[in-house]
């Protein structure tokens, strides 16, 4: 199927996914759709909204739901525009229930499904929402992780220690490792990892530099080889631990920090964030 994540940290919302697409009609791409809007509501007050949405399930259905969620923000009439996260939650819940009633339940023999993760900031308030069947859950207010798709378990294992999600940089690095683990273990997860960061209070959403993400993945692979070597040694396996293992770990740490400094250095939109998906 795929892997998609939504992570709420004290500094930002991280939305991530692999970019694998599978031919089977029951599976889907987990590409991320982004939206940024600054509009005036019916009371002539500025309304600023940033949103990133991803998910897993049937490809056509997922694209349809994503467009419907974007329409809640972009194409709403002034009197229907979002005024709070609670308002968004209620509208999203109605949308998902309506979708399941019309498009999933009548065709339950086909075993279709759609799971959606939405990271959103509205007027300085931010949250992560995740669907399960026809319900919508709002993530905890401080630090929380939502995951959908076949690689969910592998990703959540990596992100179990929430103390590593205290800021945007560390959360992004851990997210890269989580998606990498899902891509390694779960069939149907693969290709590039795409990541979007939305500041919790104010600021434009940012899209992680693909080259920096790939570089960090490569460094983490080297680190994992070192970790496996240590495990084999501790368990009495036929391996010799080199004296410079500490130096190797320090080198990995420095290389990751260097690559992390370039994660959000580019303002350009990658291929998966088409102009129609982003509106200001």
**What's this model's pTM, rounded to 2 decimal places?**
0.86
Do residues 251 and 272 both lie within one domain? no
pLDDT of residue 5: 96
- Give the 3-state secondary structure of residue 110: helix
Do residues 236 and 184 both lie within one domain? no
> pLDDT tens for residues 185-231?
998 888 999 999 999 988 889 999 999 999 999 999 988 888 877 77
Distance between CA atoms of residues 60 and 23, nearest Å: 12
pLDDT of residue 25: 36
Do residues 128 and 218 both lie within one domain? no
CB burial string 43-53: b at 16+ within 10 A, e below: eeeebebbbbb
Do residues 130 and 55 both lie within one domain? yes
Q: Is the pLDDT of residue 54 over 60?
A: yes
Do residues 16 and 147 both lie within one domain? yes
pLDDT band at 279 (very low <50, low <70, confident <90, very high): very low
Do residues 144 and 225 both lie within one domain? no
Count of domains for the chain: 2
> pLDDT tens for residues 33-45?
998 887 766 677 6
Distance between CA atoms of residues 194 and 18, nearest Å: 6
Minimal CA–CA distance to 238: which of 229, 246, 247?
229
Residue with the bigger pLDDT between 136 and 187: it is 136
Do residues 253 and 269 both lie within one domain? no
- 272: domain CATH number is 3.60.20.10
Residues spanned by the domain of 32: 4-209+264-277
Do residues 115 and 145 both lie within one domain? yes
Do residues 38 and 170 both lie within one domain? yes
> pLDDT tens for residues 61-93?
999 999 999 988 877 656 666 678 898 999 999
The backbone torsions φ and ψ at residue 206, rounded to the nearest 5 degrees and listed phi first, read: -130, 145
- Are the C-beta atoms of 139 and 9 separated by less than 8 Å? no
Q: Where are the beta strands (DSSP E) in 157-271?
A: 194-199, 206-207
Do residues 118 and 185 both lie within one domain? yes
Number of C-beta neighbours around residue 71 at 10 A: 12
Do residues 127 and 145 both lie within one domain? yes
Do residues 54 and 186 both lie within one domain? yes
Token pair listed for 81: 């525009």
Distance between CA atoms of residues 43 and 74, nearest Å: 17
């Amino acid at each position: 199927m795929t892997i998609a994540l939504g992570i709420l940290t004290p500094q930002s919302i991280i939305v991530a996914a692999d970019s694998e697409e599978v031919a089977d009609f029951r599976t889907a791409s987990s590409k991320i759709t982004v939206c940024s809007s600054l509009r005036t509501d019916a009371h002539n007050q500025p309304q600023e909204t940033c949103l990133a949405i991803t998910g897993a399930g049937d490809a056509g259905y997922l694209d349809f739901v994503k467009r419907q969620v974007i329409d809640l923000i972009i194409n709403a009439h002034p009197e229907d525009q979002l005024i709070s996260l609670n308002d968004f939650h209620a509208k999203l819940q109605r949308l998902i229930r309506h979708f399941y009633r019309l498009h999933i339940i009548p065709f339950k023999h086909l075993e279709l499904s759609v799971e959606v993760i939405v990271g959103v900031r509205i007027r300085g308030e931010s949250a992560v929402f995740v669907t399960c069947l026809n319900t919508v859950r709002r993530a905890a207010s401080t630090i929380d992780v939502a995951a959908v798709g076949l690689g969910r378990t592998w990703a959540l294992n990596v992100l179990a220690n929430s103390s590593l999600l205290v800021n945007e940089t560390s959360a992004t690095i851990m997210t890269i490792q989580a998606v990498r683990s899902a891509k390694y273990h779960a069939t149907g997860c693969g290709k590039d990892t795409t990541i979007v960061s939305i500041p919790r209070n104010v600021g434009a959403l940012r899209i992680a530099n693909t080259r920096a993400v790939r570089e960090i993945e490569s460094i983490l692979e080297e680190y994992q080889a070192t970790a496996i070597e240590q495990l084999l040694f501790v368990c009495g396996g036929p391996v010799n631990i080199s004296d410079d293992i500490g130096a190797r770990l320090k080198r990995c740490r420095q290389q990751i920090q260097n690559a992390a400094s370039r994660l959000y250095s580019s303002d350009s939109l990658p291929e998966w964030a088409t102009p129609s998906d982003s509106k200001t």
